[in-house]
Structure formats: C-alpha cells, structure tokens
Amino acid sequence: MSAVNAPYGFMPVRTLGGGQIRSFGLRGGIASAYGTAIFRGDPVKLVTAGTYQLAAAGEAISAIFAGWAPEDGGVYNTGRYWVAGTTYTKAPMCYFWPIEDMLFSVQGAGTIAQTALGDAADHNAGTGNTRSGQSGAFLASGSLAGAGNSAGWKVIDIDPTTDNAWGDAYTRVLVLANEINLGRAPGNAI
C-alpha cells in the first residue's frame, strides 16, 4: 500500500497517442540568477521573458522540468535540478516535458478514492531532494473537486505500480494537465 509520504513530482508515463516520451530543449530556458530551485518533475510556467519559472499552486502549467545541461568551456555537464540563484554567461540547455497529451504519475497528499476519477486538483511544490534532484511536488488531493473544476490537474486513473490502491494513505494516480498556459517557447525535441 502507498502508506509512505514520498512525493516525487510529476513523472511522464506515456503520451495519449502512444508515441515516445520526449523532452524539448531550450537554450536559456531559465533566466540567469533565477532565485528559486526547480527540481526534476516540478511544474513550470512560461513567463513573458520567454523563460520558465516554478509554477505555484493554482497557476496554469506550461511544462514539467526535466533537467538542464550547463556549458563550461565546451564540456557539458548535466544537472537534475536548477540550483536557486544559478548565474551563467553562456546560456545552458534546459529540458522540459510538454504537458499537452501527456499522462503523468504523481503522489497525492493523502487518500484518493476511485470516486475522484475525472476530478481536478492543484499541485503543491513540496521540497525537492538536492541529492537526487527529484521534485517533492505532489497533488493537493485535499482540494479535489468535481469534473469541470478549473484546478491544474485531472485524475484519470490509478497508477498501476506495485503496492498502490485507491484509498491508500498516499495514493499515486495518473493525471492530465487540466489548465494549460498556452504560451509556448520554441524547442527541439530530444
């Protein structure tokens, strides 16, 4: 049973069309000196500067952060999370999972019953893990409301992983983006 509170953010499971899960890269996708950490699996929003920032609960989502690759003298290193206040002179490549037509696995903040199918809820940012780079974002299951609700995510199914069932203490579910920030930055699929 999912009795352990161990949120891991929003992880892509599959596309609705059955295609390959791909991230897109955007050079300079996060502004230099952006002061908030962003972890792998965190929902992000596109801002008017053409860069992404961590999305707060209740804000429309543009993508899910997948990682980044800073460039240092031609040598690429990978970063699983964006360290708050990171500055750069040469823009790094930032990677994001698109949310349109993508199914994500996420842990609820508490019990989610099968009667929540089709209901919507917002996310909470949680606390990311600086060692693994994994997000601590979770579905605010206490705010689940009926179909047609304008919250950020819609519950589509139970996550079929082992030891997970409807009504568990911290149910893992599959969700689709319900509120999307249609502003989209160009990027190359990888």
User: What ranges do the domains of the chain cover?
Assistant: 17-99, 102-177
Q: pLDDT value at position 183?
A: 60
CB 120 within 8 A of CB 150: yes
CB 121 within 8 A of CB 146: no
Question: 120-121 and 153-158 as β-strands: parallel, antiparallel, unpaired?
Answer: antiparallel
Q: pLDDT value at position 148?
A: 61
Which residues does the chain have with pLDDT short of 70? Answer: 1-2, 71-78, 146-148, 182-190
Count other C-beta atoms under 10 Å from residue 83's C-beta: 12
Q: pLDDT value at position 165?
A: 93
Give residues with Cβ within 8 angstroms of 180, minimum separation 6. 60, 61, 62, 99, 100
pLDDT digits (tens, 9 = 90+) for 106-148: 999 999 999 999 999 999 988 999 999 999 999 987 777 766 6
Q: pLDDT value at position 190?
A: 34
Q: pLDDT value at position 133?
A: 92
Q: pLDDT value at position 160?
A: 93
